[in-house]
Structure 1
Amino acid sequence: MSVTPRRRLHLAAHFPGVNNTTVWSDPRSGSQIDFASFTHLARTAERGRFDFFFLAEGLRLRELKGRVHDLDVAGRPESLTVLSALAAVTRRLGLAGTVNTTFNEPYELARRLATLDHLSEGRAAWNVVTTSDAFTGENFRRGGFLDRADRYKRAAEFVRLSRELWDSWSPDAVAADQEAGVFVRHGGIGAVEHHGEHFTVTGRFTVPRSPQGRPVIIQAGDSDEGREFAAATADVVFSRHSTLEAGRAFQTDVKRRLARHGRRPHQLKIMPGVTYALGDTEEDAAERAAEIRRQQVGPRTAIAFLEQVWGRDMSAHDPEGPLPDVEPDLSGEVSQGRVPLADRAATAAAWRALAEEKGLTIRELVIEVTGRQTFVGTPESVARQMIAHVEAGAADGFVLVPHLTPGGLDEFVDRVVPLLQERGAFRSEYGGETLHDHLELT
């Protein structure tokens, strides 16, 4: 590890628990709702000089065959409330929350995000997501759902309006009168007049301009509409393309779109979600990775994944046995609250071909297609792999998704981060105060 990298990478920490990533059976697995769990992971990430801490969020408990899916998180507190509390126990770490544009309103959400940015002194980020399903919509007054094109149009207008609100206070619009202990207004607080397809807002924003001007915008959509939305709007893309070739193709496609929105490549960071398994030797790491995969995909989880693709009850089949000779029910739906598969027939055909080629059982098949760790090896080889990934143009950094709550990041910070720092591939100290600074967006 003697060659100095040309590019420094970025790192973020994802609080685990969504989908089947977390190994619940491990005795070290802790609470998903105890504030101590959030504090531990956030402080570990800050000790590692990570760019930000990332919270996912769902607006409805997912169901399998009409019942709450008991292998998933059964409770998840509201993201911005948790992040506001974490602002008091961290100093430099960015704080990113997932908040939905389909079932929120811009003025109210812009206030909450601007408040978090003030409380954290410029460390707030918003992961912009949409919802397309009526199942989630049943939890809200207007119910229903939006077509794909409409939900992205609403999201784009939502972000534009939020930025209008954040920018309506000029940098010198408020001065602190230290003696009186009050804020003295002296011009520069503009009125917002927005009349769009989805929103109409007339008035003045109540929150002063935040230390970094506005929160960082994160986006995770992968459709053509999602990629264009990211190129026009986002500062960070939370990508699912974690392999070298897929990551390089994704980054090339999204960043080539930036120019038509008047943006430059450094103004958008691509950070795929990744997992890792470490060992003292390559063999140890491979064995550990295989064990983690088996823990993540137990027998019931394997059947649940099969049912999501096949669209029918598959509980009568042995997860340790072969894939049954049953065709998918393309009109059936046993799983609700998950992102629907684009082509279940094609997915089922690909799974069957893979199972036949490798002689896989149902559980082995699901492990093969869903449970793979991104980086496996000794700390030295994982550091090399990450650097090579960024050098090859497959990513600007990574969002680490550990398999344990809350201590799953500890080993990476203790064993891999120092090697990245020694190599000059990652910061040894924070160079700025805000999340914009950490991400080098300006």
Structure 2
Amino acid sequence: MSKPQKQIHLAAHFPGVNNTTVWSDPEAGSHIEFSSFAHFARTAERARFDFLFLAEGLRLREQGGEIYDLDVVGRPDTFTVLAALAAVTEHLGLTGTINSTFNEPYEVARQFASLDHLSAGRAAWNVVTSWDAFTGENFRRGGFLPQEERYSRAKEFLATANELFDSWHGDEILADRATGTFLRDAKAGAFVHTGQHFDIQGQFNVPRSPQGRPVVFQAGDSEEGREFAASDADAIFSRYATLKEGQDFYTDVKSRLAKYGRRADQLLILPAATFVLGDTDAEAEELAGEVRRQQVSGATALKHLEFVWNRDLSGYDPEGPLPDIDPDVSDHHIAKGRAQVRMYRDPLAVAREWRELAAAHNWSIRDLVINTGNRQNFVGSPETVARTINDFVQADASDGFILVPHITPGGLDVFADKVVPLLQEQGVFRTEYEGSTLRDHLGLAHPDDLREQRAAS
């Protein structure tokens, strides 16, 4: 008996501050005007996507004392954007990245509960942490947390927020549906939390929202991040682009769920993915090369090289050879507000490898960055891309993808028009929304139902 086909989950990432977005393209729009967000969200909804995702940038990045050359002025506040999008969409989930290092549980829980009400049950929270003291300078608690304590605070932050969401659960809360008013006793919304990071008590003043709690996403790939996701998240992002790497990550994270009394289908694994489409595979490959060169200018290439060399390389020709000088491996970091420096655990080894590649292929600095940097995940005709996406999901390398177009806001349109219908024809993607909340779209149970299931067992 053949295994039934999995249903694919698709979401759309409104591009953040990075060189993936080609702002120089004539078709590129604004990063801050609401019309861009509205166009993007409406495209995702007509394609029947699960949700729209917003990343977060709390400070403009610097390098060499200057604002990083790829940064834009910034982005409006996440909750403001998502609340506005709730008014121009009906089904699309609304996911915001909110930091657990620089915020407080009460205010974040209140904001998400409000968004869940305003959107009729479509809110989701991507819980992130920050080790970055440079970003932390914007906050009273700037840089105070050692790296090893980030997940400790995040875990307690989420647990505390859940206590606030759940403080309106119980038989003591009655609603007069005719008037929309709530009849409650003094216990409704009351909370007390005492822990390592938070010692708070009071009354939560937002009633139980349609989803009970927002859907929770987690983005960490460390050991601590994987455990955090397995114990507390509804979905985890993955950065693995190949089938084998994706399968290994999928197997590892899903295998951790049982110890927390959870089933494999109670945590979704959703990698971010870029794409380039053409009428034929050959046309798409050619276009992908053009896009990649637009994404990596000479100035961008030098900045990326500086992440490894940890030195000012502005005097080097990006169309010339790699520096002969070795990377600076001291604790001083030339890049502020970026994690890339820490991603290269052995800069000297990376530099040696890159020099060997450049020599073997006669690559300039820019050529090297273009050929070793992040590539488009899905390149080809609509038929090829649809088939590849389905192959990944059916092979348990992911449960779906969060798509990141290189043009904002119209870059998602071609995927919605040409790839989604093919997935629908294969019977692996919805043709209509079957529920009203984001939990419905993702196949996730309501927290109250999960509580009853645990009590029964």
What's the TM-score once normalised by structure 1's chain length? Answer: 0.96
Given that 2:16 and 2:56 are in contact with CA atoms closer than 8 Å, whether structure 1 keeps it comes out as no
Percent of paired sites with the same residue: 62
Give the alignment of 1:225-264 within 5 angstroms: 225-264=224-263
**Root-mean-square deviation (Å):** 1.6
Mapped partners of 1:175, 1:407: distance in 2: 45
The alpha carbon displacement at 1:18 in A equals 2.3
Aligned counterpart, 2:221: 222
Closer, same or farther: CA 96–149 of 1 in aligned 2, 3 Å: same
Give the C-alpha shift of residue 154 in structure 1: 0.0
The structure-2 alpha-carbon separation of the partners of 1:172 and 1:428, relative to structure 1 and needing over 3 Å to count, comes to farther
- Tell me whether 1:334 sits opposite 2:337 in the alignment: no
Partner of 2:74: 75
Q: Relative to 1, partners in 2 of residues 1:372 and 1:270: Cα closer, same or farther, differing over 3 Å?
A: same
Q: CA deviation at 1:415?
A: 0.3
Distance 1:201 1:216 in 2: 24
* Structure 2 residue matching 1:329: 3-state secondary structure: coil
User: 1:430 is matched with which residue: 433, 436, 446?
Assistant: 433
Query: Deviation at 1:204?
Result: 2.1
The CA deviation at 1:4 is: 9.8
SS in 1 for 2:411: coil
Do the aligned residues in 1 keep the contact of 2:21 with 2:407 (CA within 8 Å)? yes
What is the identity, as a one-letter code, of the residue corresponding to 1:334? I
Q: Determine the C-alpha separation between the residues in 2 that align with 1:182 and 1:5.
A: 46
State how many pairs are aligned. 440
Which ranges of structure 2 fall in alignment gaps of 5 or more residues?
A: 446-457
The question of whether the paired residues in 2 share the 8 Å contact of 1:51 and 1:438 is answered with yes
1:346 corresponds in structure 2 to 349
Change in CA separation of 1:188 and 1:8 when aligned onto 2, cut-off 3 Å: farther
Q: Determine helix, strand or coil for the equivalent of 2:239.
A: coil
2:121 is matched with which residue?
A: 122
**Cα separation, 2, equivalents of 1:209 and 1:73:** 38
Provide the rounded CA distance (Å) in 1 between the counterparts of 2:44 and 2:328. Answer: 44
1:398 and 2:401 correspond: yes
The equivalent residue for 1:57 is: 56
- Point out 4+ residue stretches in structure 1 off by more than 6 angstroms: none
Partner SS state of residue 217, structure 1: strand
**Secondary structure, counterpart of 2:402 in structure 1:** strand
Contact 2:10 2:403 in 1 (8 A): yes
Secondary structure at 1:155's aligned position in 2? helix
Secondary structure, in 3 states, of the residue corresponding to 2:238? Answer: coil
Name the residue aligned to 2:184.
185
Matches of 1:350 and 1:131, distance apart in 2: 30
Distance 1:282 1:48 in 2: 23
With normalisation by structure 2, the TM-score equals: 0.93
Contact 1:231 1:255 in 2 (8 A): yes
Greater Cα offset, 18-27 or 335-344: 335-344
**Is the partner of 1:37 in helix, strand or coil?**
helix
Residues 129-138 or 168-177, more deviating: 168-177
Letter in 1 for 2:441: H
Q: Check the 8 A contact 1:5/1:425 in 2, yes or no.
A: no
2:415 aligned with 1:415: no
CA contact (8 A) 1:176 1:182 kept: yes
Distance (Å, rounded) in 1 between the aligned partners of 2:408 and 2:189: 45
Residue 18 (structure 1) aligns with: 17
Give the counterpart letter for 1:337 in structure 2: G
Deviation at 1:172, TM superposition (A): 5.2
Taking the aligned partners of 1:397 and 1:145, their CA distance within structure 2 comes to: 36
- C-alpha distance 114-346 of structure 1, shift in aligned 2 (>3 A): farther
What is the distance in 2 between the residues matched to 1:235 and 1:435?
Answer: 11
Deviation at 1:5? 6.5
Shift, 1:181, TM fit: 5.6
Once the two structures are TM-superposed, the CA of residue 335 in structure 1 deviates from its matched residue by 1.0
Aligned partners of 1:323 and 1:361 also within 8 Å: yes
